[in-house]
Structure 1
Amino acid sequence: MASHYQVLIIGGGTAGIMTAAQLLKQKQSSSVAIIEPAETHYYQPAWTLVGAGAYNFKKTGKPMKEVMPQGATWIKDFATTFDPENNTVNTKATGAITYDYLVVAPGLVMEPSMIEGLPEALDKGVVCSNYTDPEHTWNVIKNFKGGNALFTQPSTPIKCGGAPQKIAYLASDYFRKTGILKNTNVIFATPGSVIFGVKPIRDTLMKVIGRYGINFKPFYAPFKIDAEKQIAYFKHVAPEENQCVLNEDNDIGEVSTEENIIQIPFDMLHLAPPQAAPKFVRESTLVNEAGWLDVDHHSLQHNRYSNIFGLGDVAGLPTAKTGAAVRKQVPVVVDNLSLLIKQNKIGTQSYNGYSSCPLVTGYGKMTLAEFDYKGNFTPDPKLKRMLVFNSAKEHWRLWMLKKFGLPFLYWNKMMKGENV
């Protein structure tokens, strides 16, 4: 006989744990279960600091059993397939589990194979990533002796869109402190058109790029890494009219060819691997054309199955995939789910696309990008209590918030089902 739960949640990350904790705290459901195979729950936003030697990796993880909300059933297993017509999720070892309501929040997965040569190169030698092994990143940065320090990101959506550039700023600051910045070309290459989509933040970051002398390369999409020869290959993805500006940057040894392919040699390479929804989600009937969970952008209810909700990194939403976004998505899902359980209709709470990106720009410095679906800069009024009156500018108090305030809030409030 299959186990049955009123609310079944897939994923014991930020979104899954917060949703379960709030449902249980508000006594909104008779039975809640979480499918999650991992033993450890990580506070991933601190991995940026780990990669720069400013945070202890061990402090970013806690045993999953400690963060499981009291009253939730932990199904320590992998979800494998969905059968939404029969309100069933199949698992690897436990078999079929049925539900009245389903919350899909398994996050996303790294897909390094989408860049040729990356799976073999990652976390070895001078190729590193805060997304997979931040301690290795710190070793690479510490042991770097000069030359080309290349930082890049893929064309896929990624969690914390600002992370690939944060480590470029921290590394630059470290190289400055240790006196090797003068012998270094720091290069930040991105498929995007601008350094950041929110204008007040963009203005600050362009100054940071100028301060460190970073070579900023927009419209560069990485597609191949040759770890042996230490060369990264990019496609130039700019609109047609910009092609004539492709030229060789001899300072960094950049070479471009006829087919809009650019080669950049590197002495160290940090990158975010390509990322995608987990395979069991991608291969299901629950995704949109781009392969992300197909949910309404405001109610977070599935567009085809009214008893399914989705949030967090797996959701196909046109905003940044961050823990801060989850913080604002959870109350909407909990409210809509509670009303659906009680009155068979969803509420009026609406998610406006809020996300935030704490952009660390050096040791002891940070700017805080908070924005909505329209890309409006939406700073939290509470920052004034911290004496931060313009969070688009760099501030040491924001660094303190990133290093101490946010981890505390995460473990003690968000994970416990409190609205913050």
Structure 2
Amino acid sequence: MDIKRLTPAFGTAPQLTPHDVEQAAREGFRAIICNRPDGEEDGQPTAADIGAVARAAGLAFAHIPVTPGAMTDADAQEMRYALDTLPGPVLGYCRSGARAEKLTAMADALIAGPRAAPYDILIIGGGSAGIATAASILKRRRGIRLAIIEPSDDHYYQPGWTMVGAGVFDSGFTRRSEAHLIPSGATWIKGSANSFLPDDKQVLLDDGRRIGYGVLIVCPGIKLDWNAIPGLADALGHDGVTSNYRYDLAPYTNRLAKAFKGGRALFTQPPMPIKCAGAPQKAMYLSCHRWEKAGVLAHSDVQFHTAGPALFGVAAYVPALMDYVDRYGIHLNFGSKLVEIDGPAKTAIFEQADGDGVRRVAERYDMIHVVPPQVAPDFIRNSLLATPSGFVAVDEATLRHPVYPDIFALGDACSASNAKTMAAARKQAPVVAVNALAALDGHPPVAAYDGYGSCPLTVEAGKIVLAEFGYGGKLMPSFPNWLIDGTRPSRLSWLLKDTILPPVYWHGMLKGREWMVKTQPIESQS
């Protein structure tokens, strides 16, 4: 088989045989497109025959038959869609390979300029923020050409991992198929963004595909940098080292806490920013409550090591948390940053600042719950869109990029100073949806985000301190004080997290149902 490599992401070939399909798979192709109509000549394998062999070999397959000299714009659009959605590299074939090459050139021309963008709105990230924003947009404007770039097959309700670690939820309760969550009317481009070409209004994927857009929304989440702490990656999941920040490890947290019979338990929190800044403490309080009921807390040395200067960033919630710190006998260590793990020796090394500078302190442990340092994804940090912090630059109210008015960002990847929580994304999604549609129509932003975020601090099984706040730490309770006083532990708040919020997430937020998150006009925010 004679393969002509046009780009790293695409090649062409003459008519394939079943044997050629196996060769294509060996050479790294992940999808095949047939551009030849069936029955052009005697003995020609049908597209269905080649497609069956391709799928058996683990390759995706598409049939876009065209006639030489009669290829249309509709054919090019169909080819563009296939190139965007099939995993790369892609091999196209016809009788000689010429039609596949010509049709691909026509498909590429569709993204040559901003007027010919194949997608009106392109979203990077199929997590909470991306799915919710897509659903909100499609609720407002059916028929819009919208695509979501996302590499993962699974979608996770990450706020539930704290409850998995406490033995309240089963881990499977927090996972669903990504394919079943992509909103109707949206195209799923299964792949990973690699870089931005904002002047050309294109996104480059890892496999070489270029995706054009009219408006871009960036929300790929945050990178958990497990390798930033020497020894951590190798120690996770055994020898008492766990973290609720990973789906596969939250059940191990539950097993460790259940089997704990006393000793030293360490809980760590890295420097900000991190997603769900209360999660490091949640794991600690729920473990302590379990040990208190089991009668082993009195024989335990529980330590909280945080790189920050305070227990929580909003002072109004600290007194209630300190009541539990005192009740559980937790030793607080501020300005204490985990810098190394020796798994076999069950020893954690911390850097702690004192009057004489920074000293390294070694702490032995029987169990340690680690929260990894967190940074912006590499392709954002190294892009023209990033602030010095590495996150996507945005106006804090409109969530629009200050240089590129056709680009918005939300969720954990944006630079807004709000807390990085699912509740923040739930509030941001309709704001970005409204403003992105305005930008697509050539109008300025019309809605503003107030910085709202929420952190249900699980201080014991059955009670939660419901922290809700906006920019600058302003308290923003969703309920009247007589119903839920967020500064005090509440059983009703536990019911909210345990029973109400999961269906609100799956059946409300991800479906574009904007319960309790009505967008506010920009004027009302001034």
Normalised to the residue count of structure 1, the TM-score between the two structures is 0.92
1:223 alignment partner AA: V
Cα offset, 1:205, TM superposition? 0.2
Q: Could you tell me which of 117, 129, 134 is aligned with 1:15?
A: 129
After TM superposition, what 4+ stretches of structure 1 lie above 4 angstroms from structure 2?
Answer: none
Q: For the residues of structure 2 that align with 1:123 and 1:266, how far apart are their CA atoms?
A: 15
Q: For the residues of structure 2 that align with 1:279 and 1:292, how far apart are their CA atoms?
A: 10
Q: For the residues of structure 2 that align with 1:94 and 1:79, how far apart are their CA atoms?
A: 10
Match of 1:150 in 2: 266
How big is each residue's C-alpha offset from its partner over 1:92-139, in whole Å with a ceiling of 9 and x where there is no partner?
347111001100000012111111211111222200000012011111
Q: For the residues of structure 1 that align with 2:280 and 2:358, how far apart are their CA atoms?
A: 26
Does residue 1:183 correspond to 2:299, yes or no? yes
Cα offset, 1:145, TM superposition? 2.2
Unaligned segments of structure 1, at least 5 residues: 245-257
Match of 2:347 in 1: 231
Q: Could you tell me which of 393, 402, 414 is aligned with 2:497?
A: 402
SS of residue in 2 equivalent to 1:165: helix
Q: For the residues of structure 2 that align with 1:392 and 1:102, how far apart are their CA atoms?
A: 38
Q: Could you tell me which of 478, 487, 511 is aligned with 1:416?
A: 511
Aligned residues: 399
Cα offset, 1:259, TM superposition? 4.4
Structure having greater relative contact order (Cα 8 Å, sep ≥ 6): 1
Q: Is residue 266–residue 368 contact of structure 2 (8 Å, CA) maintained in 1?
A: yes
Match of 2:338 in 1: 222
Q: Could you tell me which of 356, 360, 363 is aligned with 2:458?
A: 360
Does residue 1:194 correspond to 2:310, yes or no? yes
SS of residue in 1 equivalent to 2:147: strand
Cα offset, 1:45, TM superposition? 0.3
Q: For the residues of structure 2 that align with 1:93 and 1:49, how far apart are their CA atoms?
A: 37
SS of residue in 2 equivalent to 1:119: helix
Does residue 1:321 correspond to 2:321, yes or no? no
Match of 1:140 in 2: 256
Q: CA RMSD in A?
A: 1.6
Cα offset, 1:49, TM superposition? 0.5
Residues 2-401 of structure 1: pairs in structure 2 closer than 5 A: 2=108, 4-27=118-141, 30-93=144-207, 95-132=209-246, 133-237=249-353, 243=355, 259-347=358-446, 349-381=447-479, 388-401=483-496
Q: For the residues of structure 1 that align with 2:327 and 2:129, how far apart are their CA atoms?
A: 37
2:467 alignment partner AA: A
SS of residue in 1 equivalent to 2:433: helix
Report the identity percentage. Answer: 41
Q: For the residues of structure 1 that align with 2:438 and 2:215, how far apart are their CA atoms?
A: 12
Q: Is residue 29–residue 338 contact of structure 1 (8 Å, CA) maintained in 2?
A: no
Q: Is residue 124–residue 150 contact of structure 2 (8 Å, CA) maintained in 1?
A: yes
SS of residue in 2 equivalent to 1:106: coil
Q: For the residues of structure 2 that align with 1:200 and 1:212, how far apart are their CA atoms?
A: 20
Q: Is residue 484–residue 493 contact of structure 2 (8 Å, CA) maintained in 1?
A: no
Cα offset, 1:223, TM superposition? 1.1
Q: Is residue 194–residue 203 contact of structure 2 (8 Å, CA) maintained in 1?
A: yes
Cα offset, 1:380, TM superposition? 0.8
SS of residue in 2 equivalent to 1:192: coil
2:309 alignment partner AA: S
Greater mean deviation of Cα atoms: 131-140 or 305-314? 131-140
Greater mean deviation of Cα atoms: 228-237 or 123-132? 228-237
Q: For the residues of structure 2 that align with 1:290 and 1:263, how far apart are their CA atoms?
A: 30
How big is each residue's C-alpha offset from its partner over 1:65-101, in whole Å with a ceiling of 9 and x where there is no partner?
1111110001111111111111111113471110011
Q: For the residues of structure 1 that align with 2:239 and 2:145, how far apart are their CA atoms?
A: 48
Return the index of the structure with the highest Cα Rg.
Answer: 2
Cα offset, 1:29, TM superposition? 6.6
Unaligned segments of structure 2, at least 5 residues: 1-106, 112-117, 516-526
Q: For the residues of structure 2 that align with 1:209 and 1:216, how far apart are their CA atoms?
A: 8
Q: For the residues of structure 2 that align with 1:318 and 1:269, how far apart are their CA atoms?
A: 29
How big is each residue's C-alpha offset from its partner over 1:23-72, in whole Å with a ceiling of 9 and x where there is no partner?
00111772100001111111110100000111111011111111111100
Greater mean deviation of Cα atoms: 332-341 or 95-104? 332-341
Q: For the residues of structure 2 that align with 1:332 and 1:38, how far apart are their CA atoms?
A: 25
SS of residue in 2 equivalent to 1:404: helix
SS of residue in 2 equivalent to 1:77: coil
1:318 alignment partner AA: S
Match of 1:254 in 2: none
Q: Is residue 28–residue 338 contact of structure 1 (8 Å, CA) maintained in 2?
A: no
Residues 123 and 156 of structure 1, relative CA distance in 2, 3 Å threshold: farther
SS of residue in 1 equivalent to 2:195: strand
Cα offset, 1:344, TM superposition? 2.8
Q: Is residue 484–residue 490 contact of structure 2 (8 Å, CA) maintained in 1?
A: no
Q: For the residues of structure 1 that align with 2:355 and 2:476, how far apart are their CA atoms?
A: 35
Q: For the residues of structure 1 that align with 2:219 and 2:163, how far apart are their CA atoms?
A: 25
Q: For the residues of structure 2 that align with 1:388 and 1:151, how far apart are their CA atoms?
A: 32
Q: Is residue 418–residue 452 contact of structure 2 (8 Å, CA) maintained in 1?
A: yes
